[in-house]
Amino acid sequence: MSDKINISINSEVGELEGVILHTPGAEVENMTPQNAQRALYSDILNLSIARKEYSQLSGVLSKVSKTYQVQDLLCKVLTNDASKQELVTTICKHENAIYLIDELLNIPAKELANLLIVGVPLKRNNLTNFLSHERFSLPPLYNFYFTRDASISVRDKVLISRMANRVRDLECIIMEAIFKYSGVFETTTINPLDFESTDKTTIEGGDVLIARDDILLIGSSIRTTTYAIDFVLSKLLALKDKGKRYILVQELPESPESFIHLDMVFTLLDVDKCMVFEPVILKPNRYQTVQITVQNGKVLEIKTVENLLTALKGLGMDLKPIICGGTRDPWVQEREQWHSGANFFAIGPGKVIGYSRNTYTMDEMHKNGFEIIRAKDVLADKINLNAYKKYVLTIDGNELPRGGGGARCMTMPVRRKAINW
């Protein structure tokens, strides 16, 4: 009998049973003001503070679900000689560092797993390397603590992302190896690179939400293109089942950078509630919402709809919007959205995690029946979560938001209990 966990994600809010995390490590400190922009950061992080804040997230998640760390899973891949050879070769070819293959293959699995994440320093052993302005032969994976982006669990399969920025490619390569070779998960991976996809076919996990087992929400953004959404559509068409399936596409602004993904302006909180950044999701603007209906291998209809909530209501999901930043001041809404105020992660229906710093958003949550609970108090065993039906677990967010994401960005769920719709 297999001990593998079967991938099963059919909603955003089903009770969490398994999630992949990556605790920020030395790779974050290998970033400087000079290379921060290339690493897709607007500022550099203080690792010691970031880790303390992250420990609140990982700590409360470990109390309610099985958690998996990327580095531990990667170590399992590297323990097997065949998968180690394949992964190291793939990474080195991608980074034009074939000369490193033999050296890396001789490094023990645990040490190598760490190196592949924190970066392999460049040896100044020839003139080219001596004169190079680079510090690493294999770059640090600065963004890996945002585990949401590199792979996407959809029902029983995992879609491997194709990142918009090359600096994040290795995250996708590692995550595909983990799902294929770690021995922990039972699933099938789908990689756009295995098909005839163009360089314009980019998709990231922050843009994909599983509203219901038959409804996908996808942001059309600077990170996820219409070509990639068409690729997802082609996979749905290949299913040829009798039931209808839907993709709701939300166009997003190209700036500011806080709008990079759909989950920065819209997340699901409960079977009947959602968090929205009102100016993009609800107010009249030039960003379209498109509904695509698929059945039995054919596109039945493509049409524009008023907004996501209207479309979802028409499909039987009547959601009450809770406004990021509150309803009084558009400036406050903008400030809190910038600090991931709309980016919540559900551990069950009506049970979510978010940043404590977004006080106006938390006030709105409380007005809508959510108890505000500090993660610190849960970890200190001062709070019994079973005593509450709806709550927000708040984590400190002074340093982590500098990376440009919140609780949903930092979590890659692999299994949730089914919702009885």
For 76-88, how does the pLDDT look when each residue is reduced to its tens digit (9 = 90+)? Answer: 999 999 999 999 9
Which pLDDT score, from 0 to 100, does residue 197 have?
67
CATH match of 5-415 with 1.10.274.50 = no
Which range, of 20-29, 46-55, 261-270, 398-407, averages the lowest pLDDT? 398-407
User: What is the pLDDT, as a whole number, of residue 261?
Assistant: 96
- Return the percentage of the chain with pLDDT > 70, whole number: 96
Selected residue with higher pLDDT from 399 and 311? 311
Distances (CA, A) of 259 to 140, 283, 366: 25, 16, 25
User: By three-state DSSP, how is residue 386 classified?
Assistant: helix
Strand order in the sheet with 157-160: 151-154, 157-160, 188-190
**Six-digit token string for 369:** 């029946």
Position 242 scores a pLDDT of: 77
Tens digits of residue pLDDT in 106-130: 999 999 999 999 999 888 888 887 7
**Cβ proximity of 109 and 182 under 8 Å:** no
pLDDT reported for residue 2: 62
Average per-residue pLDDT in the chain? 93
**Under 8 Å between Cβ of 242 and 44:** no
pLDDT at 336 over 50: yes
Arithmetic mean of pLDDT, 10-35: 87
For 240: left if phi > 0, alpha if psi spans -120 to 50, otherwise beta; the answer is left
H helix runs in 141-261, sequence order: 169-181, 226-237
Q: Measuring CA to CA, which residue among 412, 415, 394, 414 is closest to residue 60? A: 394
Instruction: Give the model's confidence band at 238: pLDDT under 50 very low, under 70 low, under 90 confident, else very high.
Output: confident
**Between 46 and 333, where is the model more confident?**
333
Task: Say what the pLDDT of residue 36 is.
Answer: 46
Query: Euclidean distance between the first and final Cα of the chain, in Å?
Result: 31
Mean pLDDT of 123-144: 86
Contact by Cβ (8 Å): 113, 71: yes
348 vs 110: CA distance, rounded Å: 34
DSSP code per residue over 298-356: EEEEEEEES-HHHHHHHTT---EEEETT-SS-HHHHHHHHHTTTT--EEEETTEEEEET
Mean pLDDT, residues 92-117: 97
Q: Are strands 244-251 and 266-268 parallel, antiparallel or unpaired?
A: unpaired
Q: What is the pLDDT of residue 144?
A: 95
pLDDT of 33: 54
Q: What is the pLDDT of residues 179-217, one digit of tens each?
A: 999 999 999 999 999 986 678 899 999 999 999 999 999
Q: For 401-412, what is the mean pLDDT?
A: 92
Asked if 40 and 260 count as a contact pair (C-beta separation under 8 A), the reply is no
The domain spans of the chain are 5-415
Distance CA 116, CA 140 (A): 7
Lowest average pLDDT, out of 16-20, 253-257, 395-399, goes to: 253-257
Nearest in space to 222 (alpha carbons), one of 167, 171, 262:
262
pLDDT at 127: 83
CA–CA gap between residue 321 and residue 264 (Å, rounded)? 15
- Compute the half-sphere exposure of residue 287: CA atoms within 13 Å on the CB side of its CA: 21
pLDDT at 141: 94
% of the chain at pLDDT higher than 90: 81
Pairwise pLDDT comparison (136 vs 89), residue with the higher score: 89
The pLDDT, as a whole number, for residue 39 is: 46
- Using DSSP's 3-state secondary structure scheme, residue 133 falls into coil
Range of lowest pLDDT (19-23, 91-95, 139-143, 323-327): 139-143
pLDDT for residue 98 is more than 60? yes
User: Is the pTM of the predicted complex or chain greater than 0.85?
Assistant: yes
List pLDDT tens digits, range 151-180. Answer: 999 999 999 999 998 889 999 999 999 999
259: left (phi over 0), alpha (psi -120 to 50) or beta: alpha
pLDDT of amino acid 32: 58
Average pLDDT over residues 48-57: 95
Q: Give residue 248's pLDDT.
A: 98
Three-state DSSP state, 292: strand
- Percent helix, strand, coil in the chain (nearest 5)? 35, 25, 40
